[in-house]
Amino acid sequence: MKQRLTEAEKKMMEILWEKETAFLKDILYAFPEPKPAPTTVATLLKRMQTKKLVGYKTFGNSREYFPKVSKEVYINHEMNSLIDKSFNSSVAQFASFFTANSKLTQAELKELRDLIDNQIK
């Protein structure tokens, strides 16, 4: 995945990840108020197809859309991009910054340590 998602595209992907497949009317219904115009959603879907993020199956005159990129793959890409750009590709620098600047409780810090210990094993 090379391109970043706009906020509107992220919202669209969240809907598709949750629903797994959806027709245009289902996507529109899932948007919070104020809902975008159907033409806006259709344009976003077209743009996301071009980016190879969304696919569809045709049923008569209707299209059932589905995500072509999993949420896990997207989040992994975004995290790696953040670490590359902001922390010189150093996960250790990111972890240091995260633990120092987050308001983590002792229990949460212990949970992180346990996760790391389990990965080492």
7-67: CATH topology: Arc Repressor Mutant, subunit A (1.10.10)
Q: How does pLDDT run across 8-29, given as a tens digit for each residue?
A: 899 999 999 999 999 999 999 9
Q: In this predicted structure, what is the pLDDT of residue 2?
A: 62
- Note the pLDDT of residue 41: 94
Interatomic CA distance for residues 65 and 46, integer angstroms: 11
112 vs 39, 73, 75, 89, CA distance in Å?
45, 22, 19, 20
**Domain locations along the chain:** 7-67, 71-120
pLDDT at residue 61, rounded to an integer: 92
Joined together, the tokens standing for residue 46 give: 């077209």
pLDDT of residue 68: 95
Residue that has been written with the tokens 């809907």 in this structure:
15
Q: Residues 32-85: pLDDT tens digits?
A: 899 999 999 999 999 999 999 999 999 999 999 999 999 999 999 889 988 999
Q: For the sheet containing 62-67, what is the strand order?
A: 22-23, 62-67, 54-59
Residue 91 tokens read as 């996960």
More confident residue, 105 or 1: 105
* pLDDT value at residue 1: 61
